[in-house]
């Protein structure tokens, strides 16, 4: 449980412990063996031609406040610059499916 707790003063990781979410589609396909979250949708999208290089799953740390998410990751959507073309911009926001 020590690794799941946050620093009481900062709301970030405790000293000497660094926990980060898994990246990619595997971050949300199954919660545990036999308990799917997005696996069925990912599988169905793969059947019509989507794959890891044209889908992105943005993992997020549910323990953090929105403000601390910004501090740690400098934005909830942390896309590599090479993948920015995957995010169509509408007005002032990003579209997501």
Stated pTM of the model: 0.53
Query: Rounded CA gap, 39 and 95, in Å?
Result: 21
**pLDDT 10s digits, 28-80:** 888 778 888 889 998 999 999 988 888 877 767 778 887 887 777 765 555 55
**In sequence order, what are the beta bridge partners of 93?**
90
DSSP tag of 19: -
């Amino acid at each position: 449980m020590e690794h799941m707790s946050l620093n009481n003063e900062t709301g970030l990781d405790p000293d000497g412990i660094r926990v980060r979410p898994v990246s990619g589609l595997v971050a949300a396909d199954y919660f545990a063996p036999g308990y799917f979250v997005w696996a069925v949708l990912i599988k169905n999208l793969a059947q019509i031609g989507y794959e890891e290089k044209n889908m992105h799953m943005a993992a997020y740390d549910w323990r953090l406040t929105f403000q601390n998410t910004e501090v740690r990751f400098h934005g909830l959507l942390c896309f590599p610059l090479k993948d920015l073309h995957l995010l169509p911009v509408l007005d002032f926001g990003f579209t997501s499916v």
